[in-house]
Structures are given as structure tokens and as C-alpha cells.
């Protein structure tokens, strides 16, 4: 049965990832990595804004905040990465793991969506695949 995706669940998860990127951006030291994280953060900002517009167009009030679990994950990530011998590498690993979860959430929503909603999500999914590729190349992983 096709349905309108739960844009707010995706928005909240995206906002959680935004918080992680913001924390990482402040803490990583390598300028090239900072530039990449800033670019990925801009992509997430655009993605969230587009999803908020889609939720509004579907007659729903768009989410404006992340989740409590995301706040906890973000705080734990900062604690763990601050103790790492290579903080930049630790942030890349953390962001890569969290990005996979967001990507999987999108794919699950897309599989259940109507044709029109799936088309909307496909555009966002292509953005996420770009972030996915960046982070996993840096992390040296190939899982998805």
C-alpha cells in the first residue's frame, strides 16, 4: 500500500545529523576536512528544508527539531571523539555511521511511498548518496 512518507521522521533524523556535523566542524583540525564537512552540512540543510516544504505541502506541520536520542548521540560522539588519539578520524567514523542510518531511513520510506512521494525522496536520496560516498571514502569503509 502506497502512502505519503513520514517526512517528519526523516527531518528529525536529518536535524540530528546536522547537529553532529556542526559539532564535528568545530572540532576537526584538517582544513580540507573542515571544508568537506561544511559542504555536507549545506547539503543536509538543503535536504531538510526541502523535506520541510514537502511536509507542509502534504498538509502536515514540518518538524523543526531533532530527537532526544539525537541529542544524546551527539553528546556521546563529542565525548568519545575528544578522547580519541586522532580526533579527525574519529569524527569521520562517527559521521559515516550516522549517515548510514539516515540513508537507510530514506530507503525504507521510499520503498513504502507513492510514486510521486518516491520521486521526491529520490532527489533527496541522490544528495545523501553524495555524502555517503564522501564519508565512507574518508572512513575507509565500503558498507552502506
**All 3 cell numbers of residue 44?**
543536509
Q: What is the pLDDT of residue 3?
A: 66
Cα 34 from chain centre: 17
* Domains, the chain: 7-139 (1.20.1260.10)
DSSP SS3 for 5: coil
Per DSSP (E only), the strands in 18-69 are: none
Q: Provide mean pLDDT across the span 10-22.
A: 95
Which string of DSSP letters, residue by residue, matches 127-138? HHHHHHHHHHHH
Q: At residue 2, does pLDDT exceed 60?
A: no
- pTM beyond cutoff 0.75: yes
For residue range 75-109, what is the model confidence (pLDDT) as tens digits? 999 999 999 999 999 999 999 999 889 999 988 98
Q: At residue 69, does pLDDT exceed 80?
A: yes
Distance CA 12, CA 142 (A): 26
Amino acid at each position: 500500500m502506497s502512502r505519503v512518507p513520514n517526512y517528519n521522521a526523516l527531518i528529525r533524523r536529518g536535524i540530528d545529523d546536522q547537529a553532529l556535523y556542526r559539532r564535528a566542524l568545530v572540532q576537526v583540525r584538517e582544513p580540507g576536512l573542515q571544508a568537506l564537512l561544511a559542504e555536507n552540512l549545506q547539503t543536509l540543510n538543503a535536504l531538510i528544508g526541502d523535506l520541510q516544504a514537502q511536509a507542509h505541502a502534504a498538509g502536515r506541520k514540518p518538524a523543526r527539531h531533532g530527537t532526544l536520542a539525537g541529542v544524546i548521540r551527539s553528546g556521546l560522539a563529542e565525548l568519545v571523539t575528544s578522547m580519541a588519539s586522532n580526533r579527525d578520524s574519529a569524527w569521520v567514523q562517527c559521521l559515516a555511521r550516522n549517515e548510514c542510518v539516515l540513508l537507510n531511513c530514506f530507503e525504507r520510506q521510499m520503498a513504502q511511498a507513492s510514486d510521486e512521494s518516491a520521486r521526491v525522496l529520490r532527489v533527496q536520496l541522490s544528495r545523501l548518496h553524495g555524502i555517503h560516498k564522501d564519508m565512507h571514502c574518508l572512513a575507509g569503509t565500503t558498507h552502506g
